[in-house]
Structure 1
Amino acid sequence: MFSLVSDVMTREVQVASPETTFRELVRLIEDHRVHALPVVDESRRVLGIVAESDLLIKEELAEGHVRTPLQRRGRSRLAGTTAIEIMTAPAVTVDSSKTLGQAARVFRRRHVGQLPVVDTDGRLIGIVTRSDLLTVFLRPDEDLLVAVQEAIDAVVGDVPSCKISATVTDGVVVLDGEAELVSEVIAVGNSVRRVQGIVRLDVNVIAVNDDVHPPMGNL
Structure 2
Amino acid sequence: MRHRTVAELMTPRAVTVRPGTAFKEVARLLHEFDITAVPVVDETGHPVGVVSEADLLRRRTAGAAPTAEDLMTSPAVTARAEWSVVRAARVMQRHGVKRLPVVDADGRVVGVLSRSDLIRLFFRQDHAIQQEVVEDVLTRTLGIAPSSITVEVDDGLVTLSGTVSRPELLPVIVRLCQSVDGVVDVDNRLTCAAATADSG
The residue correspondences of 1:77-92 to structure 2 (distance < 5 A) are 80-92=65-77
- How far off is 1:139 after superposition? 0.8
SS at 2:142 equivalent: helix
In 2: Cα distance, 1:2 partner to 1:151 partner:
12
In our comparison, the structure showing a higher alpha carbon Rg is 1
AA aligned to 1:156 is G
- In structure 1, the residue matched to 2:143 is 156
Number of positions where the alignment pairs a residue of Structure 1 with one of Structure 2? 192
AA aligned to 2:169 is E
- In structure 2, the residue matched to 1:15 is 16
- In structure 2, the residue matched to 1:44 is 45
In 2: Cα distance, 1:29 partner to 1:179 partner:
53
- How far off is 1:175 after superposition? 0.9
In 2: Cα distance, 1:99 partner to 1:191 partner:
15
The reply to whether residue 32 of structure 1 matches residue 33 of structure 2 is yes
Q: Percent identity?
A: 33
- How far off is 1:143 after superposition? 0.9
Shift of the 181–125 alpha-carbon distance from structure 1 to 2, 3 Å rule, reads same
AA aligned to 1:122 is G
- In structure 1, the residue matched to 2:193 is 208
Check conservation: 1:5, 1:97, Cα contact below 8 A. yes
AA aligned to 1:46 is P
The reply to whether residue 102 of structure 1 matches residue 102 of structure 2 is no
SS at 2:25 equivalent: helix
Check conservation: 2:59, 2:71, Cα contact below 8 A. no
SS at 1:20 equivalent: coil
The reply to whether residue 186 of structure 1 matches residue 171 of structure 2 is yes
- In structure 1, the residue matched to 2:56 is 55
Per-residue deviation, residues 105-126 of structure 1 (Å, max 9, x unmatched): 1111111121111112111011
Runs of 4+ in 1 over 3 A off after TM superposition: none
In 2: Cα distance, 1:189 partner to 1:57 partner:
45
In 2: Cα distance, 1:190 partner to 1:52 partner:
37
TM-score, normalised to structure 2, is 0.88
- How far off is 1:173 after superposition? 0.7
TM-score, normalised to structure 1, is 0.81
Check conservation: 1:48, 1:90, Cα contact below 8 A. yes
AA aligned to 2:92 is F
The reply to whether residue 196 of structure 1 matches residue 181 of structure 2 is yes
In 1: Cα distance, 2:16 partner to 2:3 partner:
25
Check conservation: 1:46, 1:91, Cα contact below 8 A. yes
- In structure 2, the residue matched to 1:146 is 131
- List gaps (5 residues or longer) in structure 1: 63-77, 211-219
Check conservation: 1:2, 1:8, Cα contact below 8 A. no
Shift of the 188–156 alpha-carbon distance from structure 1 to 2, 3 Å rule, reads farther
Shift of the 58–118 alpha-carbon distance from structure 1 to 2, 3 Å rule, reads same
- How far off is 1:148 after superposition? 0.3
2:151 to 150, 162, 166: 166
- How far off is 1:2 after superposition? 6.8
AA aligned to 1:125 is V
Per-residue deviation, residues 133-155 of structure 1 (Å, max 9, x unmatched): 11111111111111101201121
- List gaps (5 residues or longer) in structure 2: 196-200
User: RMSD of the alignment, in Å?
Assistant: 2.0
